[in-house]
Structure 1
Amino acid sequence: MLMTHTISFKGFSVLILLVVIIFNPLMNTAQALETTSSGTIAVNPLKYSVNETSDYVKVNVIRSGGSSGTISVNYTTINGLATQPTDYRPIAGILNWDNGDIDARTITVPIVNDNIIEDPENFYVELYNINGGNLGISRAMVTINSEDVESPNEDKTNYETAEVDFKPNTLNLKSNSGKNSFTAHIKLNSSDIVNSVDISSINLSVNDTIVETQKPIKVYDKNREGLEMKVKFNKQQIINAINNPSENITLTINGSLNNGVEFIGSDTIKVVPEKI
């Protein structure tokens, strides 16, 4: 903005031209954050199921939260109960995003039909070595289902119910601090081996939005009566995912053990809506 001012002294008049720059710190800060955020790379969804007669499975990788600059991340396959090369073909490589690119990438893993009657087996696709951005949920689990002839009465249930208790049991939507965490206490009765939990598989889903875990994740066994876990989740991500707040909401956590057994549990918490 330009301003003029005239000063008179000893019969002379001097016209002074002033240049005034108006600075809006809030606007510039917001623009800077929007411009400089490189984003987060993550697998989404976390779980895939494929028949053993399928040729391949495709794992989706997304970039969210920003698009500034280039990002690259390595990927590889990891054995679970399903092993390479008898159940799937191992692959490894690098995914790249250019500046402004937010398109999803696909990792294609070939599946092998071994013609053996067997229970469902799983393996993992892992992201690692991120460059230029942030790494979110890094591991996807793929379950291969056998289509070979088997007993129709055979029970294929391969999961257990976990006891989940969120503390505190109230979520205040007025909170705007992304640094705060929301803690879940999880108990499994099937195992007392601390290293039997696949920590990277633990996730919380709210309205189809995956909420990130926060380190450290504590796994312990106090009295040999089952495993207990203390897992922290990003509180602000939970708040952002609640589109239509009601008095109560049920939060569900799932994950898996290293032997392929999945666990799932939920807890209902009270929601304190934001005042309008």
Structure 2
Amino acid sequence: MISRCCLLVSQCEDRSPGEEDVALTVEREMDKMETAIKDAVERFTAMLENSRAKDTGTQLEVNESILGTCSDLMAAVRQLVRRGAELQKEIVDSGRGGASPKEFYKRNHRWSEGLLSGAKAVAIACQALMTAADQVVSGKGKFEEVIVSSREIAASSMQLVMASRVKADRSSEKLRNLNVTAKTISTLTGTVVATAENCRDKIAIANTLDFSKLSLHHTKRMEMETLVKVLETEKHLEEERSKLSELRKHHYKLAGEIEGWDQEVGATSELEEQEMIDF
């Protein structure tokens, strides 16, 4: 499935369409984007079913959360593509007069290129999110990759929306529908980011506190290593507190010299500051 999506994305050639086939090129690239998103949604469903069959506990909870939110985001992108296609058709139909779609796209080639660029960006971003989620679920990837990919989807979706708006009638209901979907994608992107961050922390805690597979020897060794780290951290904390105290004393001294504070006020301030540090 992943190789299929990679093929679809690779077929989105980075070139400006020739004037004679521009209408056909726009339609073809929009269809490829729709297919890539459809395949991604199906892949997420398959990954979730596979995880439920073999995973348990925290790992299953994390996988369900990641795949669930990513699937919701992908579904919204799919709706965005459909609504974008509806708006695009409305623009072409209302703006071409007696001309053919090919002639309309030819006259408005910059707008056409903007649509193509947005469509390709969305397809590539969806592929990146699917790959990142797949890697995380299999334990080989990083949650940060999911975060970056989801944000890229939001950015590329907005690129497609902006390209679609250029020639749209501001009172168009189809434009309003597109804007609503764009806002939904923005919200869902935030959900994916928050979920990925939360799941990352859950996995980190679970890995840190899972001692069930440690032998007696390993347990004792980790206990001693942890104690050493605690002592080192406490020592470093005391050193930094002392450093902070001396810096503040020096600051008050310099400030007193500049402002002409008397010694009594300076001493009182130092005492109060020392009490704040020794919490």
Band the TM-score falls in, shorter-chain normalisation: under 0.3
Larger proportion of helix: 2
TM-score under structure 2 length normalisation:
0.23
More strand by share: 1
Q: Which has the larger radius of gyration?
A: 2
Q: Which has the higher contact order (CA 8 A, sep 6+)?
A: 2
Q: TM-score, with normalisation over the residues of structure 1?
A: 0.23
